[in-house]
Amino acid sequence: MLEYEIWGNSLQTWILCILIIAAAYGVVKLLNLLGRKFLEPLIGRTDNRLDDIIYYSVAAPLKFAVMLLGIWIAIHRLVYPDQLVRYVDSAYRILIVLDITWVLARLSTALLQRYWRQKSDGQALKMMPVIRRTVLVLIWIIGIVTALSNVGVDINALWGTLGIGGIAFALAAQDTVKNVFGAFTIFTDKPFGIGDTINANGLEGTVVDIGMRSTRILGYDRRITSCPNYKITDAAVVNISSEPMRR
């Protein structure tokens, strides 16, 4: 019965592949148990916060990598067409690079939150959400480009195609592009930060978030207004929080 073939592979081979994947899943569960019972209490007792950042940044991508390895070993025990083999190998090269990118993204944002969220005078860095999102976008763009390059995609041709498509996209989404550039203008010019009370063309309230598309302002009536970034950068903004005193 074990020699019975399904899609060109014996039943014994299929059972072995399923067992390999199940073993990989078991390793993931074991890592979860070890982390919860031993590593997390051990890390929590140390005064240094760097080990916490490294552990929580690497934990989830490591488990994903274990599952990828188990599935890769199982798949390569099967017999299937060469064309499908190339597709599977290309997909795995992309997933490996993206997994490494995931580690770098989690690690960089955690380090930013831990060590650079405050200025030298102890005050909170109000532009940290914008900085964190910008760093995340840059890391993922580099990771995706690297992954595509590893599978033989012509990056120069891709950039050229994206350039032509980007022009058409920019024409179709001018407001969105203006909002993104408005966010970078707010980040670089720093007319206000999160927590500041501002007045922008009659809209007055406290800034609670600065996103890539809009800035959220909490009014005195406790209602949140999302204002497009390009309108704020074009407006005359009064930073009320920067006033030394007010009658």
- Give, for 205, the enclosing helix (H) or strand (E): strand 203-210
Q: What long-range pairs does 44-51 form, CB within 8 A, spacing at least 24?
A: 49/114
- Give, for 13, the enclosing helix (H) or strand (E): helix 11-34
Q: What is the pLDDT of residue 178?
A: 75
Q: What is the pLDDT of residue 247?
A: 63
Return the structure tokens found at 209: 């978030």
Dist CA 15 CA 13 (whole Å): 5
Q: For residue 20, tell me if it sits in a domain.
A: no
Number of structural domains the chain divides into = 1
- Which one, of 188, 196, 197, 195, lies nearest residue 233 by Cα? 188
The pTM (predicted TM-score) of the whole model is: 0.62
Q: What is the pLDDT of residue 218?
A: 92
Give φ, ψ of 3 to 5 degrees.
-85, -5
Q: What is the pLDDT of residue 173?
A: 57
Q: For residue 218, tell me if it sits in a domain.
A: yes
Whether the Cβ atoms of residue 133 and residue 186 lie closer than 8 Å to each other: no
Average pLDDT over residues 81-90: 78
Q: What is the pLDDT of residue 78?
A: 76
Q: What is the pLDDT of residue 202?
A: 84
Dist CA 68 CA 28 (whole Å): 11
Give φ, ψ of 200 to 5 degrees.
-120, 100
Q: For residue 95, tell me if it sits in a domain.
A: no
Q: Does residue 123 surpass a pLDDT of 60?
A: no
Q: Does residue 122 surpass a pLDDT of 50?
A: no
Q: For residue 195, tell me if it sits in a domain.
A: yes
Q: Does residue 240 surpass a pLDDT of 60?
A: yes
Q: Which of helix, strand or coil describes residue 49?
A: coil
Domain of residue 222, residue span: 180-242
Give percent of the chain above pLDDT 70.
Answer: 79
Q: For residue 237, tell me if it sits in a domain.
A: yes
Q: Does residue 95 surpass a pLDDT of 60?
A: yes
Average pLDDT over residues 145-160: 73
Dist CA 113 CA 187 (whole Å): 17
Q: What is the pLDDT of residue 30?
A: 92
Q: What CATH number does the domain containing 228 carry? A: 2.30.30.60
Q: For residue 219, tell me if it sits in a domain.
A: yes
Q: Does residue 45 surpass a pLDDT of 60?
A: yes
State pLDDT tens for residues 201-235.
Answer: 888 899 988 877 788 899 888 899 888 888 888 88
Q: What is the CA radius of gyration of the chain?
A: 25
Q: Does residue 118 surpass a pLDDT of 60?
A: no
Q: What's the mean per-residue pLDDT of the chain? A: 79
Average pLDDT over residues 102-129: 70
Q: For residue 131, tell me if it sits in a domain.
A: no
Of 10-24, 55-69, 180-194, the range with the lowest mean pLDDT is: 180-194
Q: What is the pLDDT of residue 108?
A: 87
The larger pLDDT score, comparing residue 123 to residue 219, is at 219
Q: How far is CA 78 from the centre of its chain?
A: 34
Q: For residue 144, tell me if it sits in a domain.
A: no
